[in-house]
Amino acid sequence: TSITLSRSYSPHYDDMLLKARQAQDYFLLQGPPGTGKTSMALRFLVEEELHSSLLTSHSSLLLTAYTNRAVDEICSMLEDAGIDYLRIGYEASCDPRFAHRLLDCVLAEKPRLDDIRQQLQEVRVVVSTTSMLQSRSFLLEIKHFSLCIVDEASQILEPNIIGLLSSSSIERFILIGDHKQLPAVVVQPDDEPTLHDCRLSLFERLLRQEREAGREAFTAILRRQGRMHPDIAAFPNKFFYAHEQLQPVPLPHQEEMELDYRQPSEDALDDQLKHHRVLFIPSNCQLSLQRHTLTQGQRIVNSQFSEATLVAEVLRRLYRQIGSAHFDADKSIGVIVTYRHQITQIRREIAKLNLPELLDISIDTVERYQGSQR
């Protein structure tokens, strides 16, 4: 408890950062959706560790996650913060923006073992997926880490992380995750009797252990989220986060009261889309939706829509309401599906709309969206 922070980072994060710095073995940070666990919390943890280690010894950080997309998010944060780092991995699975940070790219002209050792020893932050670290375990023999931070840790089961965290090259670790979001995918049945439930992530098991022991010194929860409007946050707050009770930061978009689109409404569905932030459209009912095709200008009436066609129709209406001047394919709309084959079906229907701006919107699975936002 004699350890203090080097500076104040944010009133909403300082208490958590201090507890994480004082924890000598491990620390668990629960970050519900939109609470900035990567963009803010992870960044502050890295900056504080780098500053503190300068005062003692030249130690290093290992930042890891289960998926390459989550590692891309970490790299994006490091780039924004201006922190130098080295990434372990393959170019094919790395976002092109960070390819120049890959070890293989840095060593393109010097692929010898002593050059690898020198590069690793000089850099203070190393980033990689957990599977890549396990396949290149010799890296832990070359470099010592004062701290290992695992992001999206609630997706990682014990066999995929215990071998890494128990290495003598790692002094202590921090797990960042949220066991109430997407869990690890396992085939163990819910009712199968086992000595230990193998469906639990190490993050959730340790978190339960701390709470059952009544300890709070080694855990923290981020409660202020900057992603969802309160109308949208009301659902997860009621059914998933009754204990945590997420609060808006608040940011400007969280204080808007009315939805305001500039175009007049076509029909009842347009009115629904204009005036409700959460809307459920059942796909198994008879729908009579009218739309105009840009190519022929004739009216087409479909009495029954497939889900892919219905999604495309909703996208068309949202694009019309937002307006071409304000529409941004990277921010305005995202489509989340359960299975990958649905992506192709939806894109095929979007192509029929003859709206090029909709071709670049993000359509992906729940698992691949984890850690992202739209």
Q: Supply the pLDDT for residue 298.
A: 46
Q: Supply the pLDDT for residue 17.
A: 97
State the SS3 of 121-171.
HHCCEEEEEHHHHHHCCHHHHHCCECEEEECCHHHCEHHHCHHHHCCCCEC
Convert the pLDDT of each residue in 299-341 to its tens digit.
Answer: 443 333 578 999 999 999 999 999 999 999 988 999 999 888 8
Convert the pLDDT of each residue in 48-59 to its tens digit.
Answer: 999 887 655 667
The span from the first CA to the last CA of the chain, in angstroms, equals: 40
Low-confidence ranges of the chain (pLDDT < 70): 54-58, 109-110, 190-197, 259-266, 284-305
Q: Supply the pLDDT for residue 275.
A: 84
Q: Supply the pLDDT for residue 261.
A: 55
Q: Supply the pLDDT for residue 130.
A: 95
Question: Which string of DSSP letters, residue by residue, matches 180-212?
Answer: TS--------TT---SS-TTSBHHHHHHHHHHH
Q: Supply the pLDDT for residue 136.
A: 85
Q: Supply the pLDDT for residue 314.
A: 94
